[in-house]
Structure 1
Amino acid sequence: MRILLFTGKGGVGKSTVAAATAALAAAEGLRTLVLSTDAAHSLGDAFGAVVGPEPTEVARNLYVEQVDAQLRFEQSWADIQRYLLSVLDVAGMDPVAAEELTVIPGAEEVLALLELRLRARSGEWDVIVIDCAPTAETLRLLALPEALGWYMTRIFPMQRRLVKLLGPMLTKASGGVPMPGDTVFDAMQRLHDELLEVRDLLTGPDASVRIVLTPETVVVAEARRSWTMLSLYGYRVDGVVANRIFPSEGADDWRAGWVAAQQQVLSDVEASFAGLPVWRSVYRPREPVGVQALEALACEVFVDLADTDPFAPAAGEGPFTVTRTSTGAIAHLALPGATKEQVDLARNGDDLVVTVGSYRRLLTLPAGLARLRVSGARVEGGELQVRFEEAS
C-alpha cells in the first residue's frame, strides 16, 4: 500500500494537486482513497461531489472521505475530556467555557491521522492520498506522535504509579481536585499507541511527502525549510510539484514579465531540491473541478518526467541511518539545506536533542548507539553526522 502526503504553504493549490494525483491513481486501476487532515475540507469541492464521513465513491476505484472529527473525538478523547471537565468543575469554571478548553488544539488533524490508521489497517486500498494542512500545522502534527512518545515512556509510568499509590492523599491535598483514574490513563495509553502506529506508517518505506509550491520566492523559501524540517522528524520527501506556472506561448508584455520572473524562480527550485523530481503544472484558464479535469491535470503534471512512476515507493533509505565503523558508529540525519550555524546538538541520556531553527526533535537512540559516547559531530552536504565510540 502506498501513502502519499501533500503539503505546502496555504493557497498554493495543494488540495487540487492531491485530488488530481488520486484521480490518476484510480485511472491506472489502483484502488484509491483520498482524505484530508486540513480542517478546511475542500476535497469535496475539488471533485464537485458531496462527500461524507465514510469513503464516498466518486469514480471507479476512487473514494473520498472527509473525517467526522466529532465522532472520532468521542471515540479517542471522551474519557480524557470527562476527567478534565471534572477538574474544571471543581475549580468553578463555567461548563461551556470548560468544554471549549478541553478540546485540544489541532484535534481535527490529529483525529484524521487516527482515521488514516484505520483505513490503512483495513487492507482495502492500494493508494491513500492525504491532503495535509498548510506547512506549519503539518509539521506540528507530524512531530506529535514522537513528542507524545517521549512523555509516555519517561513521565507517564511514574505519574500513573504515583496516582495509584497516593490518589486519595493527593486529592485531599489539592483541595478536592480529582485524580485521574484508570480509564483516563488507559485512554491516554491507547491514544499514544495509535499515534505511534500512525508514525510508523508515515515514516515507513511505503510513505512519502510531496511539497506543493508556486514559483514565488517567499513560497520556495518556505518549501526549502519544510524539506529540512520534515527530514528532521524522519519523513521522506520524494518530490516537489511546482504549480500555477504561466505558459510562455502568446504572452503579452505584462504576462511575459511574470513568465521571466517565474523561470528565474524555477531555476532556484531545481537547484534547491537537487536529487528530487520537480513536477510542473501549468496555470490553467479555469479551475480544474471534477474527476476528469483532475485526471487531465495529473497526466500533464507527470508527463514531463515520464521515467518517474508517481506511485512507486520512494527510493533509498529514510532520513535517519546508521553506519558502523571500526571504533563505533556514525548516525546520519538528513537535513537538506541546513547549515552548521542553524543546527544545535545535545545528548540527554538515551536521546539526541537536535534543534534546527525553532524546531526540536528528541531522537531516541537505538540500543546499539545508546551505550556509546558521542565523540564528535558535523553538518556536511545537508546531513548531520554524529560519531559514536566505545567509552574509554
Structure 2
Amino acid sequence: MRTVLVTGPGGAGRTTVAAATALASARAGRRTLLISADAVPALPAGTERLSCARVDSAAHFRDELLELQERASGVLDLLGANRLDAEELTELPGSAQLAVLHTLRRAAEGDGHEVLVVDLPPLPDALALLALPGRLRRYLRRLLPAERQAARALRPVLAQLAGVPMPAQWLYEAAARKDAELAAVEALIEDNATTVRLVAEPGQAAGEALRSARTGLALHGLRVDSVVASRVLPRHSADPWFADLAARQEKCLDHWHQEWAPGTSVRETAHLGREPRTAEDLALLARACAPDDRTPGHAGDPWWTEDAGDGVIAWCLPLPGAVKEDLKLVRRGDELFLTAGPFHRIVRLESALRRCTVSGAALTDGVLRVRFTPDPGLWPRTQ
C-alpha cells in the first residue's frame, strides 16, 4: 500500500494539501483513504474511490481505558475501587497521538485501499508521533521483558505468600498485544512505499522549519517525496506590494529547489485568493499533488558501515542540514543515543559494533560518521 504522510509548519495548509493529494490519487483510479483529525474541505462529486476516516481521540481514549479497567477488574475489586463510567471520561494530553497510531494500524490491517493519505499534526509534533511506535516498543521490552514470563509457575506461590492475586499474566498478555499493534504501525511507517510530504508557505520562517525537519526525518530514516509550496502568488503583478511579496516567494522557492535536489521535488500550489473550502477549490489544488508510485517492502536501515582503515569501523548516518553544535552522541551498552537539535533516537548496534569502543565522531558533508575501534578483550584471539 502506498502511504503519504502530510505535515508541515502550523497554518501552512497541510490538511488542504492532504485532501488534495487524496483527491488526485482517487481521480487516478486508485482506491484511497484519507485520515485526518480535522475537518477536510468538501470533496467533488464523482470521487467514489475516495473515503475519509476521522480520528476520534476522545472515543479512542474511552475505549482503551474501559478495556483496561475490565481486564484489571480483579485487582480493582480487591482494592474496593469504584469503576469509571464512559460518560465521565475525558481524554488526557497525549491521547490524540495514540488515537492516530490506532487509526493507522486499522488502516494497515484493512484491505481494499491502495493509497493511504494521512493528515499529521504540525512539525515537530508529527516527527515525535512517527517515532512513537519504536519508543513505546522499547519501553515495553525494558519494563516487561518476554523472558520474565518463564517464572509463570512461581506466580501461584507468590500469590499465596502475598495474599493477593498476581496480575502478571494478563499484564504480559496486554503488553504482547500492544507490542504487536505498535509493530504493525512501525512497519507501515518504515515501508519503502511510505513517504512524508512537507507543506510550507514560502518564507524565511518556513525555510528554517523545513531545514530542521529534514534533519529529524533523516535521523529516523523517513523519506520525503516532495515539498509542497502553498499559497504561491502570481509571478507578475501590477501591484508593487504583491510584486515584492511574489519576488520574495520566488527567491525562497529557488533556494528550496537547490536545497532539496535531486531526490525531492518541490511542487507549487497557487494562492486562490481565498480559503480553499469548496470542491472546486480542492480540485484546482489537486493538479499539483498527485502521489508518485513506490514499490512496497522493507526500506532497510538508513545507516551503513564502512572500513575506515587500521581496523576501525565507521558507522555512517546521513543528516542533511545538521549542525555540529546541535549533535550529541552517547554510547550506553549495546545502544547508541543520538540527538540532533530537538530530535532524539536510540539505535541498537549490530553485533560487530557491540564489541568495539567509540573512538571518535565527525560530521562531514552532511553525514555523521562514528568511529568504532575493536576492543581486544571482546574479539576472539587469532594465532
Report the secondary structure of 1:195's partner residue.
helix
Residues 168/104 of structure 1: CA separation in 2 closer, same or farther (3 Å cut): farther
How many positions carry a matched residue from both structures?
368
How far apart, CA to CA, are the structure 2 residues paired with 1:285 and 1:185? 56
Is the counterpart of residue 16 in structure 1 residue 16 in structure 2? yes
Q: Which residue number corresponds to residue 6 of structure 2? A: 6
Q: Which residue number corresponds to residue 326 of structure 2? A: 342
Q: Does the 8 Å CA contact 1:328/1:372 hold for their aligned counterparts?
A: no
Q: Which residue number corresponds to residue 39 of structure 2? A: 42
Residues 314/376 of structure 1: CA separation in 2 closer, same or farther (3 Å cut): farther
Residues 255/117 of structure 1: CA separation in 2 closer, same or farther (3 Å cut): same
Of 342, 345, 350 in structure 2, the residue corresponding to residue 366 of structure 1 is 350
CA deviations on 1:163-184 (whole Å, 9 max, x unpaired) are 9759759988xxx9x9754334
Q: Which residue number corresponds to residue 136 of structure 1? A: 124
How far apart, CA to CA, are the structure 2 residues paired with 1:171 and 1:58? 65
Is the counterpart of residue 114 in structure 1 residue 96 in structure 2? no
TM-score by length of 2: 0.82
How far apart, CA to CA, are the structure 2 residues paired with 1:170 and 1:14? 58
Q: Which residue number corresponds to residue 248 of structure 2? A: 261
Q: Which residue number corresponds to residue 234 of structure 1? A: 221
Q: Which residue number corresponds to residue 302 of structure 2? A: 320
Report the secondary structure of 2:124's partner residue.
helix
Report the secondary structure of 1:6's partner residue.
strand
The Cα of 1:185 is off from its aligned counterpart by 3.5
Alignment-mate amino acid for residue 322 of structure 1: W
Is the counterpart of residue 182 in structure 1 residue 177 in structure 2? no
The Cα of 1:213 is off from its aligned counterpart by 0.5
Q: Does the 8 Å CA contact 1:216/1:262 hold for their aligned counterparts?
A: yes
Residues 212/69 of structure 1: CA separation in 2 closer, same or farther (3 Å cut): same
Q: Which residue number corresponds to residue 52 of structure 1? A: none
Alignment-mate amino acid for residue 352 of structure 1: L
Alignment-mate amino acid for residue 192 of structure 2: P
Question: Identity of aligned pairs, percent?
Answer: 33
The Cα RMSD (Å) is 3.7
Q: Which residue number corresponds to residue 289 of structure 1? A: 277
Q: Which residue number corresponds to residue 194 of structure 1? A: 181
User: How do residues 204-215 of structure 1 correspond to structure 2 at under 5 angstroms?
Assistant: 204-215=191-202
Report the secondary structure of 1:145's partner residue.
helix
Of 173, 194, 209 in structure 2, the residue corresponding to residue 222 of structure 1 is 209
The Cα of 1:84 is off from its aligned counterpart by 8.7
Alignment-mate amino acid for residue 349 of structure 2: L
Q: Does the 8 Å CA contact 1:231/1:237 hold for their aligned counterparts?
A: no
How far apart, CA to CA, are the structure 2 residues paired with 1:226 and 1:95? 41
Report the secondary structure of 1:105's partner residue.
coil
How far apart, CA to CA, are the structure 1 residues paired with 2:185 and 2:125? 17
Residues 291/323 of structure 1: CA separation in 2 closer, same or farther (3 Å cut): farther
Larger radius of gyration: 2
Q: Does the 8 Å CA contact 1:59/1:291 hold for their aligned counterparts?
A: no
Alignment-mate amino acid for residue 35 of structure 1: I
Which blocks of at least 5 consecutive residues in structure 2 are unaligned?
Answer: 377-383
Q: Does the 8 Å CA contact 2:43/2:282 hold for their aligned counterparts?
A: no
Q: Does the 8 Å CA contact 1:231/1:319 hold for their aligned counterparts?
A: no
Q: Which residue number corresponds to residue 124 of structure 1? A: 112
The Cα of 1:105 is off from its aligned counterpart by 2.8
The Cα of 1:70 is off from its aligned counterpart by 4.8
Q: Does the 8 Å CA contact 2:306/2:313 hold for their aligned counterparts?
A: yes
How far apart, CA to CA, are the structure 2 residues paired with 1:78 and 1:283? 46
Q: Which residue number corresponds to residue 336 of structure 2? A: 352
Residues 91/145 of structure 1: CA separation in 2 closer, same or farther (3 Å cut): farther
CA deviations on 1:7-47 (whole Å, 9 max, x unpaired) are 011110001111101111111111111112x4xx222xx12
Report the secondary structure of 2:12's partner residue.
coil
How far apart, CA to CA, are the structure 2 residues paired with 1:356 and 1:167? 46
Q: Does the 8 Å CA contact 1:322/1:329 hold for their aligned counterparts?
A: no
How far apart, CA to CA, are the structure 1 residues paired with 2:6 and 2:158? 46
Q: Which residue number corresponds to residue 134 of structure 2? A: 146
CA deviations on 1:20-78 (whole Å, 9 max, x unpaired) are 01111111111111112x4xx222xx1259xxxxxxx9712111111344554455454
User: How do residues 164-175 of structure 1 correspond to structure 2 at under 5 angstroms?
Assistant: none
How far apart, CA to CA, are the structure 2 residues paired with 1:212 and 1:182? 46
Q: Does the 8 Å CA contact 1:6/1:18 hold for their aligned counterparts?
A: yes
Q: Does the 8 Å CA contact 2:144/2:175 hold for their aligned counterparts?
A: no
CA deviations on 1:339-358 (whole Å, 9 max, x unpaired) are 22211111111111001123
The Cα of 1:158 is off from its aligned counterpart by 8.1
Q: Does the 8 Å CA contact 2:228/2:269 hold for their aligned counterparts?
A: yes
CA deviations on 1:244-291 (whole Å, 9 max, x unpaired) are 111123341221221122223223323443432111111112333355
